[in-house]
Amino acid sequence: MDKIKVLWMNNGEECQDSFVICTSAYNMEIETCSSIADCKDMLSSSKGKYNVLLLSIDYEVKEGRQRGERKTSSFDIDFIKKTIEDLPYYLVTDSKELSEATETFIRFLKEKVYNLQTQTKMLCEKITSDYNQQIPIKYKKICQFCNYDGLTNLLKEYEQSDKRSIERNNSIPNKVRKVLDWLKMDSTLFAGRTIPDHIHLKLKSEKDYKAGKTIDEQPLNIFSKILGHSDYVPIYVKRSIFACVSTNQPGSHYSPIDVEILNGNAPYVTRSLILELLNILHWCASLDEKTFEL
């Protein structure tokens, strides 16, 4: 199991033994930094390395402030939020007793602050739960196969949008189409692959079929038919690719399906398209490209 990589911006002191023991039990690996500048540098130079950021609200800020000032400001936190993009963050304090000023600051933040003296286990459980819901983790097999950013963004929409907004989002068909375009043109499974003779014979009379061209050079509707004629593609994948292509091909241009989605007359279409796409990608991710045949 992969470790959860945690970057903790504190005052540069060693992590408490109790905190280290607890994070180790939850399969976490801690690295620390002591300033906003260091934090930004570590995040930008190691993009994708860290899964979680801990921000101590009482770390010692040395840039432009007196040494005794131990609170970070809301400006600092806003700066970090803009820097970390989608990286989950948690505000923590390791003070045994909070000063009145720090307690006032916590109320001002209006965010949950975990006390590492008393809430370490609660924090670790929260981090683990949130980590398992991150797109690259929840859809690990699929995301390892498909490195197209459009898929990650589509899955974020699917996971994070409220029910009404996803149901009426008529941009979904086009986004599904773009992922299928990636699969056809850029994936190692299909890019540059020649079409087997037995499938060519079945397609040569098709209007859009480009004889002599590889799979990635074919239009998407022909790509769907190539998979449909293969004896090696499971029936559920054939039906999924047909559903996606037949729905999103017209949907990629403004058409009646867009209107139906936008007006709420087809509330399940967008979610079903995404699930059909996941069916296809999950199957593709399970294949050995060296032995895969059509």
119/153 same-domain check = no
d(CA 79, CA 87): 13
Is the dihedral angle over the CA atoms 169, 132, 280, 49 positive or is it negative?
positive
In the structure, what pLDDT confidence band is assigned to residue 12 with cuts at 50, 70 and 90? low
Whole-angstrom distance, CA of residue 294 vs CA of residue 292? 7
Mean pLDDT score across all residues of the chain: 82
Task: Name the nearest CA neighbour of 272 among 244, 237, 246, 251.
Answer: 244
Residue 80 pLDDT class (50, 70, 90 cuts) = low
Q: Is residue 269 part of a domain?
A: yes
Assess if residue 290 is contained within a domain: no
User: Are 164 and 47 part of one and the same domain?
Assistant: no
Boundary of a domain, candidates 103, 132, 161: 132
Show which of 100, 132, 164 is a domain's final residue: 132
* Spatial CA neighbour of 123 closest among 72, 53, 60: 53
**Residues 6 or more apart whose Cβ sits within 8 Å of residue 277:** 176, 179, 180, 240, 244
Structure tokens, 69: 């000032």
- Say whether both 182 and 243 belong to one domain: yes
State the Cα–Cα distance between residues 150 and 153, nearest whole angstrom.
Answer: 5
Q: Is 155 in the same domain as 178? A: yes
Q: Place 85 in a pLDDT band, splitting at 50, 70 and 90.
A: low
State the amino acid at position 219 in one-letter form: P
Dihedral, 64, 46, 91, 93 alpha carbons, nearest 10: -70
Whether residue 160 is found in the same domain as residue 244? yes
Alpha helices in 133-219 (DSSP H): 135-138, 140-145, 149-160, 163-167, 172-185, 197-203
- Give the CATH number, domain containing residue 90: 3.40.50.2300
CB 90 within 8 A of CB 123: yes
Q: Are residues 216 and 91 in the same domain?
A: no
- Mark whether 18 and 85 lie in a shared domain: yes
Between CA 61 and CA 55 the distance in angstroms is 12
**Residue pLDDT, tens place only, 157-204:** 998 888 788 899 989 999 999 999 999 999 989 999 999 999 999 998
- Residues whose CB falls within 8 Å of the CB of residue 30, separated by 6 or more in sequence, listed in order: 6, 8, 15, 20, 23
One domain, residues 86 and 161: no
User: Positive or negative CA dihedral for 282, 286, 290, 294?
Assistant: negative
Tell me: do 155 and 124 sit in the same domain. Answer: no
Q: Do 220 and 256 share a domain, yes or no? A: yes
Q: Strand 4-9's sheet: what is its strand order? A: 28-33, 4-9, 52-56, 89-93, 113-115
**Residues 217 and 124 occupy one common structural domain:** no
For strands 89-93 and 28-33, give the pairing: unpaired
Q: Which residues contact 37 (CB under 8 A, 6 or more apart)?
A: 63
Residue span of the structural domain in which 121 resides: 4-132
pLDDT at residue 282, rounded to an integer: 97
Spatial distance between the Cα atoms of 289 and 104, rounded to a whole number of angstroms? 59
In whole angstroms, give the CA distance from residue 122 to residue 31: 20
Q: Tell me, yes or no, whether 273 lies in a domain.
A: yes
| Residue 69 banded pLDDT, cuts 50, 70, 90 | very low
Q: How many domains, in total, are found in the chain?
A: 2
Structure tokens at 91: 């505000």
Single out the residue in 132, 161, 181 at which a domain terminates: 132
In the chain, % of residues over pLDDT 70: 80
- pLDDT tens-digit map of 254-279: 567 888 898 889 999 999 999 999 99
| Residues 127 and 160 placed together within one structural domain of the fold | no
65 in a domain, yes or no?
A: yes
State how far the Cα of 207 lies from the Cα of 94, in Å rounded to an integer: 69
